[in-house]
Structure 1
């Protein structure tokens, strides 16, 4: 525990630290408010996007299952191997109250039938339909990934900021105020003792003068 010296300078120092702590708490509240606002906005988007993604994944999986049941697995394995290709992705960030929000700029995920790499003669229309559905899934998945990462970062920072706010409000400021009160009390007691001592000295002086 920090040793507290009952001096005027220490009293002024405590008052200054209390002001700084209160100001810091207000700044943290403002920052937390901005973070929560962005969290609410992105949180609503990510929930909608994840719900749509779940539906699209389920639909694409069902379509793939039906197509494999009709054509067998081998044509799809072969087409998937031939169609392997990357998607150009550029990641940007913007700052919201010091938190980096991720935004993804991606190239075209959906491809034309002639651009998927497999032979159109050797494949059925069902393979094209499956490829198109899974390209749509990938497109939405990239959007959801950026949203979810940003929401997680915001949630972590909101929790961290809240802890700091609570520490200032419930620990730091009360401790400083208690120290200020103790210092004030000691200084007041000293001042009272000095007044009593001074009165005694004056009284003794008057009595000594009267005797002389």
Structure 2
């Protein structure tokens, strides 16, 4: 890089401005990196315990459905669940965390999860459906948190790479080039001074 650089004062001024911008960008990106890390840690802390709750609730729901099937005739189970009356919609909104768009999920439900009469059904089926409704809320929350964590982690990785490139490549290499230009300019000034002194000696000798 230094071999092809133009060793002029204009080039040195340009590179100094480049260093100033790079250092300013490095500071801002470092702040963003630190805040992304903090937000990611905060979100990630809640994921593992929530996932355990979801797994436990799913196992409990599955157990209740097995008990319901064991206490009812197969055709009664099929008839009870044949026509669901509860409607589900999922609204997705976006928030910004350090310029990263992360989703916020909100469910909208209409109707009752119990969509059958009680004559041929077991109370265990009621409990299973209510348990399923509850675990569904937890699954949505878990999906929201995991997606947020993924997006933040992806942007954090990009930000770290940019910080490292500025810190270990762009800024030091540009500063080295500035030193090289300054050295060349000083050398040229010494050469010019020497030539002027020689010329002055020649002129004085002629006189």
2:139 is equivalent to residue 141 of structure 1: yes
Q: Is the 8 A contact 2:86 2:109 kept in 1?
A: no
Quote how far apart the aligned CAs of 1:166 are: 0.5
2:204 is equivalent to residue 203 of structure 1: no
Distance in 2 of aligned mates of 1:198 and 1:74: 110
Q: Is the 8 A contact 2:64 2:125 kept in 1?
A: no
Quote how far apart the aligned CAs of 1:72 are: 5.1
> Greater CA deviation, 38-47 or 10-19?
38-47
2:152 is equivalent to residue 151 of structure 1: no
Q: Is the 8 A contact 1:75 1:123 kept in 2?
A: yes
1:186 maps to 184
C-alpha distance after superposition, 1:10-57 (max 9, x if no partner): 001111101110110000011112211211111112222212111111
Quote how far apart the aligned CAs of 1:116 are: 2.5
Give runs of ≥4 in structure 1 deviating > 6 Å: none
Distance in 1 of aligned mates of 2:186 and 2:44: 55
Distance in 1 of aligned mates of 2:172 and 2:183: 16
1:60 maps to 61
**Structure 2 CA distance for partners of 1:196 and 1:73, relative to 1, 3 Å:** farther
Q: Is the 8 A contact 2:33 2:156 kept in 1?
A: yes
2:68 is equivalent to residue 70 of structure 1: no
Distance in 1 of aligned mates of 2:194 and 2:25: 42
> Greater CA deviation, 195-204 or 54-63?
54-63
Q: Is the 8 A contact 2:54 2:139 kept in 1?
A: yes
Give the number of equivalent residue pairs.
206
Distance in 1 of aligned mates of 2:28 and 2:95: 21
**Structure 2 CA distance for partners of 1:187 and 1:143, relative to 1, 3 Å:** same
- Is there any run of 5+ residues in structure 1 with no aligned partner, and where? none
1:10 maps to 11
Distance in 1 of aligned mates of 2:185 and 2:162: 32
